[in-house]
Amino acid sequence: MESFKEYSYLENIKEIINKDDSITLKWKLNDKAIISKIELTNKQLFICDSPNNRNIKKRTTFIIRSNNEKKSIFKIEWKVIN
């Protein structure tokens, strides 16, 4: 992806297209369910593979980018269920 060209260590970059101003992700961690709501007004959300620390393995990474040049606040709400 052209906008990430300078970050050659990022692989398989894909933009997550969402028509709403936020996206809700559901996670399972052991016996708990976690919901995260990410506000995306004037922002783009990407997912990619990035290097893991001190290891050759890759990890999944989310990148949130603002669509303007001004400083931007990123709001994420987390809820633990169960």
DSSP code for 68: S
Least Cα distance to 22 among 40, 34, 36, 45 occurs for 40
CA distances from 28 to 12, 21, 38, 64, 71 (A): 23, 24, 17, 22, 32
φ and ψ of 29, to 5 deg: -130, 105
Q: What is the pLDDT of residue 53?
A: 76
Q: What is the pLDDT of residue 78?
A: 95
How many other CB atoms are found less than 10 A from the CB of residue 45?
17
Q: What average pLDDT does range 42-65 have in this prediction? A: 88
Least confident window among 8-12, 29-33, 36-40, 68-72: 68-72
Higher pLDDT, 26 or 56: 26
